[in-house]
Amino acid sequence: MMSSRSRILGRIRHNLGRGPLSAEKAAELKTRIEEHRPNLVPKRTEISPAAQVDLFQAKAEALGATVTRLSSLDAVPEAVSRYLSDHNLATKIKMSPEAALDALPFDQTPMLDITRGAATAEDDVSLTPAFAGIAETGTLCLASGPDTPSTLNFLPENHIVLLRRSQIIGTMEESWARLRAKYGAGNLPRTLNLISGPSRTADIEQTLIMGAHGPRRLHILIVDDAEKD
Amino acid sequence: MQVTARRFKKNAHGALQDDNIQKAFSKVKGGFPIARAKAAGELPEFDALRDQARDLKNHILDNLDYYLEYFEEQVLLQGGKVHWCSSYADARAAVLEICRAAEAKTVTKGKSMITEEMALNDHLAANGIEPIETDLGEYIIQLAHEYPSHIIAPALHKTKDQVSDLFHQHHEKYGFSERLTDPQALVNEARRILRDKYVAADVGITGANFLIAETGSTVIVTNEGNGDLTQSLPKTHIAVSSIEKVVPTLEDASLFLRLLARSATGQEMSVYTTFSTGPRRTDDIDGPANFHVVLVDSGRSDLLGTNKQDLLRCLKCGACMNHCPVYQAVGGHSYGWVYPGPIGAALNPHMVGLEEARHLPSASTFCGRCEEVCPVRIPLPKIMRHWREEAFQAQVTPKPERWGIGLWAFFAKRPALYRPLTRFAARSLKIMGGRKGVIRRLPLLKGWTDVRDFPAPQGKTFMEQWKKQQRESR
Ligand code: SF4
């Protein structure tokens, strides 16, 4: 019996009125993939790096995220603490087990109860690093890995993201370039999340309600790092 | 699912007399289209992107076999499995087999139109596996034992009161005994109940908006985050996708992503766009241990090379129905199969048979707005016309419609006559509507005007109005 696979491929070719592609045509398509040329990219982000940061913030805020700018990484623990108290949240966070987060001076905030690891249903607040921030639409790009479990992006009701200024880029295409540089062409981490604002639904009489299944609140800490000025 | 397209007129008749449906669907035009127009207006490149998207989809369809094989190779390289399924039955069997291997008792599901097509939930339930829809709209209609009335807002036809009753009735067993009426409280309750379901599920099933050949990834786009919890918490992730969803590269996905949410809801991006690639990596501390892609053809490949191939470009954004006066009048369920609105009127006859769906291609006022807003420029009215001509030739349409179409086809084949004629028709309908601007009876739409006044066109065709508006906004 013919397998479904050959039946489907056979039918596609038959209905397109041809056999398998010629070696030449196949090579051309392979090159097309390997070159991964951008299509039309909106001009919106052809602006200075500083303006891109502003655009990112404006777009993220318009999506319902909140943004705090910090002048250095040392200010992060204090900013996290303040966020929790501002929103009457318990002083408890689940954090990505990432070296750079571990290196933050959390000794300044001894009240803060920090655990590390993947999210569980009990976690209310998470703190994770970002891979990139896309200014075009105020979108965060988060990549999963051993030290960045993706469940932290979804299970807790409150998600705090640490984004370095140097990670803010113009477009999605620039994040693809950075991902290829880190993971190798043709590879992606297991889960890549593009996140544009907090979770929402309009499924009950088209009324917009925040916090459907993912985080109800998304807070972004943009930290100035010297590399981009 | 059970096909009721044959009863289109009866369905529509019922919908026109149902106040809840009238209220829900008339609300559509005040929401989605305005948001879409705003989003499109804020992106100067929007129309140029649509041209590129159309061309790129055509390129993909011309080389579909190549990109599917490339995609498969990458999924395998990343440690995932690919199941090719010619029919719904094959696809149901493939999913069931994976669930059995995982010894699944419950599966959570993200929103997916292809699993609606193949009636997966019934099949799983019949085999002792409980499927739990997690998209709030899908969850609501699952409780009500209904099916989607809009491709991106499945419970559009449900009122808040009906949701209150459903939750009250079904959530008691979880210890929620109060009947809630506030939408925020309703959402919170569903959120709490589904949270436990995500954690307990053995398998998570999602659809796919795109398949990326370059990386072997499946992509889902949601606003709620339910698809993410569905695909990241259980041990096994199954992505079910129809074959035409493949795109060559990440850059190509970007082109479609810039159009998809803008066209659907007027968002620049949906909240969550998630790329899943293979199972969890060796050192990962979360994510599914098994990753399966179920590729479903079920009639799609037979559209290739036909005068309806363009339908395969569809991104399932819902813009065509959001802008369709017929959809807004008769609601989603009248169309009698998974896809409502203009895309349903054009696609369902192929999927369920022209005999069954013969009324659908006539469910049109010829206003052309669906094609005007389609992000991949599918000529929906033209495809509906092809169907009507085929129905006419096969004599499956009832007599009065045959006469109407015969006449119409005569003009339609003569574009020079046709345009002035529609202009003439629009104006004469206005005159027929008199001062009140409504028409009590239309000769060929008796079933419809029996219960509803047909709004008289404003005396200009949509194309004329559109051009005028464009000129004025310049
Ligand atoms: S036919 Fe076009 S407008 Fe309608 S759902 Fe498909 S892509 Fe969207």
Give pLDDT tens digits for B85-125: 999 999 999 999 999 999 999 999 999 999 999 999 999 99
Q: Quote the pLDDT of residue B443.
A: 37
Q: Quote the pLDDT of residue B20.
A: 78
In chain B, which among 180-239 make CB contacts under 8 A with chain A? 183-184, 186-188, 191, 194-196, 199, 213-215, 217, 223-226, 228-229, 231-233
Q: Quote the pLDDT of residue B27.
A: 76
For the ranges A125-134, B351-360, B383-392, the maximum mean pLDDT occurs at A125-134
Instruction: Kindly state the DSSP code that residue B283 receives in the 8-state scheme.
Output: T
Question: Does position B458 have pLDDT exceeding 60, yes or no?
Answer: no
What is the rounded CA–CA span in Å between residue B171 and residue B186? Answer: 11
Q: Render A101-121 in DSSP notation, one character per residue.
A: HHTS-GGG-TT-EEEESS--T
Q: Quote the pLDDT of residue A113.
A: 95
Q: Quote the pLDDT of residue A176.
A: 98
Q: Quote the pLDDT of residue B421.
A: 38
Residue B23: pLDDT band by 50, 70, 90 thresholds? confident
Measured between CB atoms, does B135 come within 8 Å of chain A? yes
What is the rounded CA–CA span in Å between residue B124 and residue B137? Answer: 20
Question: Does position B412 have pLDDT exceeding 60, yes or no?
Answer: no
Question: Does position B417 have pLDDT exceeding 80, yes or no?
Answer: no
Are B346 and B387 contacting, i.e. CB atoms less than 8 angstroms apart?
Answer: yes
Q: Quote the pLDDT of residue B17.
A: 80
Residue B381: pLDDT band by 50, 70, 90 thresholds? very high
What is the rounded CA–CA span in Å between residue B260 and residue B221? Answer: 9
- Map residue B130 onto helix, strand or coil: strand
Q: Quote the pLDDT of residue B439.
A: 40
Stretch B346-374: mean pLDDT: 89
Q: Quote the pLDDT of residue A223.
A: 97
Whose CA is closest to B380, among B408, B411, B340? B340
Q: Quote the pLDDT of residue B464.
A: 52
In chain B, which among 262-281 make CB contacts under 8 A with chain A? 265, 267-281
Q: Which of B159, B224, B259, B309 should one mutate to test binding to chain A, selecting the residue with the greatest count of A CBs within 10 A?
A: B224
Q: What angle do CA A193, B247, A130 make, to 5 degrees?
A: 15
A54 CA: distance to closest CA in chain B (Å): 17
Long-range contacts of A52-55 (CB under 8 A, 24+ apart): A52/A135, A52/A168, A52/A169, A52/A170, A53/A135, A53/A165, A53/A168, A53/A222, A55/A135, A55/A136, A55/A138
Backbone angles phi, psi at B161, to 5 degrees: -60, -40
Are B138 and B154 contacting, i.e. CB atoms less than 8 angstroms apart?
Answer: yes
- Among A29, A173, A212, the residue with its CB nearest the CB of B225 is A212
The CATH number assigned to the domain with range B31-158+202-300 reads 3.40.50.10420
Select A55-223's CATH number: 3.40.50.1820, 3.40.50.10420, 3.40.50.300, 3.40.1010.10. 3.40.50.10420
Stretch B389-417: mean pLDDT: 57
Q: Quote the pLDDT of residue B333.
A: 87
Closest Cα in chain B to A196: B271
CB-based contact A188 B195, cutoff 8 Å: no
C-alpha distance from residue A152 to each of A121, A189, B237 (Å): 10, 16, 18
Are A126 and A149 contacting, i.e. CB atoms less than 8 angstroms apart?
Answer: no
Q: Quote the pLDDT of residue B6.
A: 79
The residues of chain A scoring below 50 in pLDDT are 228-229
Question: Does position B438 have pLDDT exceeding 70, yes or no?
Answer: no
Q: Where are the domains of chain B?
A: 31-158+202-300, 417-473
- Output Rg (C-alpha) for chain A, integer angstroms: 22
ipTM value, please give it: 0.96
Q: Quote the pLDDT of residue B425.
A: 43
Handedness of CA B72, B76, B79, B80 (dihedral sign): positive
Are B402 and B395 contacting, i.e. CB atoms less than 8 angstroms apart?
Answer: yes
Q: A138-142, B289-293, B410-414: lowest mean pLDDT where?
A: B410-414
State the Cα torsion A38-B218-A99-B235 to the nearest 10°.
180
Q: Quote the pLDDT of residue B455.
A: 42
- Map residue B215 onto helix, strand or coil: coil
Question: Does position B411 have pLDDT exceeding 50, yes or no?
Answer: no
Q: Kind of pairing, strands B438-439 and B454-455?
A: antiparallel
Straight-line distance from the first to the last Cα atom of chain B, in angstroms, rounded to the nearest whole number: 48
Whose CA is closest to B202, among B125, B133, B294, B99? B99
Question: Does position B305 have pLDDT exceeding 90, yes or no?
Answer: yes
Compare B207 and B444 and report the one with higher pLDDT. Answer: B207
- Among B140, B217, B257, the residue with its CB nearest the CB of A188 is B217
Tell me the two tokens of residue A152: 């932290």
Q: Quote the pLDDT of residue B407.
A: 39
Question: Does position B440 have pLDDT exceeding 70, yes or no?
Answer: no
Residue B60: pLDDT band by 50, 70, 90 thresholds? very high
- Indicate which atom in ligand 1 lies nearest the CA of residue B370: 3
Stretch B280-288: mean pLDDT: 95
Query: In one letter, which amino acid is A143?
Result: A
